[in-house]
Amino acid sequence: MIVSVEKPNATQAKSAEQAQPDANKLVSNDQFTVPQNNAFGNKFRDYEVGARTDKVEQHYKASHINQTYDFVKKIREEYKKLNKAEMGIWECCELLNEVVDDSDPDLDEPQIQHLLQSAEAIRKDYPNEDWLHLTALIHDLGKILVLPKFGELPQWAVVGDTFPVGCAFDEFNVHYKYFRENPDFKNPKYNTNNGVYSEGCGLDNLLMSWGHDDYMYMVAKENGTTLPQAGLFIIRYHSFYPLHKHGAYAQFMNEEDKKNMKWLHVFNKYDLYSKSKAHVDVEKVKPYYESLIAKYFPAKLKW
């Protein structure tokens, strides 16, 4: 089925370009207190303890073995068609009531609550950055890939930390040991420091492990969002923890990446530490987020 998509006009596109945020001029009333423990009483991103540890480790084992350069190229071509559905952003948010992330050691709640918790925390501290509120709301919408209508992909091909394929796997990746079973690990074309890439080529030129990040970035970009580039950067790389937490793969970054990374660091605190068992009242905040969706997206998108 061919679906027509409402594209932003030249005025909207120019306006979005002019509104490109500058992290160096960021004004906030940041009062967000980082909690010491997650919803289970353990440290955040602790992959060694907790009730979900075994499930999370098995997730990463499958991911690290199966996410090869050839696999990613093939699946990106398939999903680039955006022929799975036609729907609005909020409709997609509601679908996440059916999704729990098996890779997350910090939360076992439906994903819509995580999105709203992140967005509301950022909204409180950065009230003037409405694009950042919306980015928080939609950053994980790609997790619908686990649902039957969108291919029912295994969770190892949807969630978890992301990493480049086509170059050596860095030891800062969680559960690095399982990469040794990946066919690319011993392939001389892909197992050098830079692999098929060159230093300073820009993150946009890397082929990242396939998952919800790259899918949602693809959906937003191809449907003509007017979110600033920093918002798209956050969506695409928010799970790239080896880079934004440990500095791995930094040799590939260009100057634009370094500017956008400042915004990703702002966002990451809320993405990681706002996870809680305390639920947001969906109906109370829904009108605000629907107004942002209308500002930055067409009414219907191809997925």
Q: Please tell me whether 271 is known to bind a ligand.
A: yes
Residue 88 φ/ψ, nearest 5 degrees: -85, 170
Q: What phi-psi label fits residue 33: left (phi over 0), alpha (psi between -120 and 50 degrees) or beta?
A: beta
Quick one: DSSP state of residue 175?
A: T
238 is an annotated ligand-binding site residue: yes
Closest CA relative to residue 293, chosen from 88, 44, 4, 1:
88
CB 244 within 8 A of CB 237: yes
101 is in an annotated binding site: yes
The bridge status of strand 86-87 relative to strand 301-302 is: antiparallel
Is 28 marked as binding a ligand? no
User: How crowded is residue 55: how many other Cβ atoms within 10 Å of its Cβ?
Assistant: 15
- DSSP string over 39-92: TTSS-TT-SSSSTTHHHHHHHHHHHHHH--HHHHHHHHHHHTT--S-EE-HHHH
Does 102 carry a binding-site annotation? yes
What distance in Å separates the CA atoms of residue 200 and residue 125, rounded to the nearest whole number?
A: 33
170 is in an annotated binding site: no
131-164 CB burial, b ≥16 within 10 A, e <16? bbbbbbbbbbbbbbbbbeebbebebbbbbbbbbb
Task: Confirm or deny that 140 is annotated as ligand binding.
Answer: yes
> Is 212 labelled a binding residue?
yes
Specify which residues 207 forms β-bridges with.
165
Find out whether 45 is annotated in a ligand binding site. yes
Q: Is 214 annotated as a binding residue?
A: no
Known binding residues: 45, 101-103, 114, 139-140, 143, 160-161, 212, 238-239, 271
Known binding residues for Fe cation: 114, 139-140, 212, 238, 271
Known binding residues for substrate: 45, 101-103, 143, 160-161, 238-239
